[in-house]
Chain A
Amino acid sequence: MFEVIEKKVLSPQVSLLKFKAPQIAKTRKAGQFIIFQIDETGERIPLTIADSDPDEGTVTLICQGVGKSTLKFNSLEKGESIMSLVGPLGKPSHIEKFGTTVCVGGGLGIAVVYPLAKALKEAGNRVLSIMGFRSKELMFMEDELKKISDELYITTDDGSYVRQGLVTDVLKELIEKGEKIDSVFAVGPVPMMRAVCELTRNHKINTVVSLNPVMVDGTGMCGACRVTIGGATKFVCVDGPEFDGHQIDFAELAKRQNFYRTEEKISLDKYNEHKKCWESEAKVK
């Protein structure tokens, strides 16, 4: 069992949970992920590790509640435990001194971008960060990212904070005003990563993205997470999760993400229905 020792609600959809997991904390490097399973009937969900503290023996996970498992995960409170947490899985990020790097995060992608940006900064890079959200209320980790970035840009789809627009608008401006960019890291929804890669491809800027497809075991045994990279099939769990963004077949990746859309909805509806029952029961009491 793995115990929640700290919880913070970062936005209406996003929570931060810190778990006691000394062995994972000891070996984890930036870019790696874990797979969690809440209980016996739960499913196995991969999440990039946002932070770890080997002295304290903890790993920090940031999760966006969209389906049953992630909503249930975000409803966990301090002192509660989950059945399993396995990792650190995948290859660590390739961090070196590139020069100027742009770190682009969209939505939950910020949680993955933050440790990356931090490691890049520590390696001596000039770090320009761009974070995008649908609206201000969904935003999180602004202060954390500001602290480690040389420059921080924020966009919101609805213009409710800083500037209206997409992360790619900012990236495009940076490129056009002649900023010499040596590498780009982008993590977020598939359409965002795809748009970033299309933009940087034209300017021949190396771009790395971190993928988060459906997985089961996370050790290469099942192949659920396969993705086409430069025409060859790779397993994200063992070959990734980070890849050269210019080699990824994003169209295929986007389609594969819809594989279980019907089942995910059934699960979510059932979960919401049960939740309503619990809530009304609680009221009666």
Chain B
Amino acid sequence: MSGNNLTPKERMQIQRQHMPEQDPLARNKNFEQVNLGLAEEIAIMEAKRCLQCKNPLCVTGCPVGVNIPEFIKLIAEGRLLEAAQKLKEKNSLPAVCGRVCPQEEQCEKPCILGKKGKPVGIGNLERFAADFEIAMGVAKIPPLPKSTGKRVAIVGSGPSGLTAAGELAKLGHSVTIFEALHKSGGVLIYGIPEFRLPKKILNVEVDYVRKLGVEIVNNYVVGKTETLDGLLSSGYHAAFIGTGAGLPYFMNIPGENLNGVYSANEYLTRVNLMKAYLFPEYDTPIFKGRNVAVVGGGNTAMDAVRTSKRLGAAHSYIIYRRSQAEMPARIEEVKHAEEEGIEFRLLTNPIRVVGDEKGWVNGIECLKMELGEPDASGRRKPVPVKGSEFIIDVDIVIIAIGNGANPLIPMTTKGIDTNRYGNITADPKSQATSKPGVFAGGDIVRGGATVILAMGDGKVAAQSINEYLK
């Protein structure tokens, strides 16, 4: 089977290639990557499965519009660096997206091969091509146009900010990202664990955005160090707000301020950004519990619970009030968690964190739930079972039930409209806010969403900003 001379029938006979994984019982004790990546010949084999549809549906599922059949064709032909460049025409962070995108809900969902068998492993191939380029160390910087003389301020170096910045730089604008933390990447660096997205990989992609001419200023909290209005009056012609959700919800149940209760944001930030898993080599501590309960059923909950296991917990539980079918986490994440020995307590709702007299957690009291009629989200509403209270013995409770909107920017910026949840209102077609010249995207607009949707927003905003600056 050479090159692209296969018939569709021959292509369809190739089975989807399996992503090799670290052994579950080894990996739940280390922070190395779970998915090991495809070998070259395996990736080429997988790429040959692609039917090269004339009207590729996969592309319609990609929020940043990657030319999927083209980059896969280049892999099939063994033109691996060109494949990476093809990806980067539309996506500045392919090694990130190849790891954290929910492809099964996006590009891979409409893939024609998925009708009868398994769709092409688009995400795995994306990761393969991006990693290949990183390994070769030859990332090509596209030719940049002449400077337009226009300056754009980007607030936040997460997925939406990095994407908007990269796109604007490629259009010739002078871009500065202002980042509150001492490291760049936003949720990609503080939220997503090393075992899903190694910092080394992330840093290469952040550096790529820098090489496009983007300046990143760390330790700079827009709204505090300087207001957005202050930036706009100091020579920036437009701005993009991509500050993320960043204000963790708690459950408002008794005992939530006991020692041993964390928001998922805090727990993950300590471990990922501050490297508390390497304490005392690194100074930031983390309390390592024997038994850990994580409340929630999303990807963040899975990240937190799998992290707790790696920190040595004997029992790590997911406590979720609905059933597995309603869980918002990716299927792959749930599967990985199960393999690693995470214990799921489904249809279970916490009503109280139990503590000792010194203020430390020693349990979590829960109610059994059953599913009733569908609610506004279309998911069956969990209803408490009377008299079913019981206590799970734990010494750490991590709350992973989502984030509200961080009020720093709306509070300190004139003329930015927000909705009743505090999220910034932006036109979905242009990402324009109510304030002229100011655009916004990602979780600060959407509430809790995904990396790739945030990147899609950044991309749309970059086009709108480009129009605005003309």
A42 touches B248 (CB 8 A): no
B219 touches A266 (CB 8 A): no
Encode contact with B along A208-239: 1 for CB under 8 Å, 0 otherwise: 00000000110111111011100001000010
Q: Nearest Cβ distance between residue A221 and chain B, in whole angstroms?
A: 4
Q: Does A81 contact B (CB under 8 A)?
A: no
Known contacts A37-B182, A256-B257, A258-B359, A86 near B266 by CB under 8 Å: no
Known contacts A252-B359, A260-B287, A222 near B266 by CB under 8 Å: yes
Contact partner of A44 among B247, B256, B284, CB < 8 A? B284
B225 touches A24 (CB 8 A): yes
Known contacts A23-B226, A86-B219, A255-B358, A221 near B259 by CB under 8 Å: no
Q: Does B464 contact A (CB under 8 A)?
A: no
A86 touches B220 (CB 8 A): yes
Determine the chain A residues whose CB is within 8 A of the CB of B263 once the complex forms. 222-223
Main SS at interface, chain B: loop
Interface extent on B, as a size class?
35 or more
Determine the chain A residues whose CB is within 8 A of the CB of B225 once the complex forms. 23-24, 27, 86-88
A220 touches B257 (CB 8 A): no
A252 touches B257 (CB 8 A): yes
Q: Does A56 contact B (CB under 8 A)?
A: no
Determine the chain B residues whose CB is within 8 A of the CB of A270 once the complex forms. 280
Contact partner of A221 among B247, B256, B282, CB < 8 A? B247
B224 touches A88 (CB 8 A): yes
Query: How many residue pairs, one in A and one in B, have C-beta atoms under 8 Å apart?
Result: 119
Q: Does B373 contact A (CB under 8 A)?
A: no
Determine the chain B residues whose CB is within 8 A of the CB of A69 once the complex forms. 283
Encode contact with A along B392-417: 1 for CB under 8 Å, 0 otherwise: 00000000000000111000000000
**A87, A220, A222, A252: most-surrounded residue (chain B CB, <10 A):** A222
Q: Does B375 contact A (CB under 8 A)?
A: no
B266 touches A259 (CB 8 A): no
Q: List 28 A-B contacts (CB under 8 A).
A: A23-B220, A23-B226, A26-B226, A41-B282, A69-B283, A83-B182, A84-B219, A85-B219, A86-B225, A87-B224, A219-B221, A219-B406, A220-B406, A222-B263, A223-B250, A228-B257, A238-B407, A252-B359, A255-B258, A255-B259, A258-B358, A258-B359, A259-B259, A260-B287, A264-B285, A267-B280, A267-B283, A267-B285
* Chain A residues at the B interface, C-beta cutoff of 8 Å: 23-24, 26-27, 37, 41-44, 68-69, 83-89, 216-217, 219-224, 226-228, 233, 238, 252, 255-256, 258-260, 263-264, 266-267, 270
A88-B225, A221-B190, A258-B259 are known contacts; what are 5 more A-B pairs with Cβ within 8 Å?
Answer: A84-B182, A84-B219, A216-B284, A227-B257, A258-B358
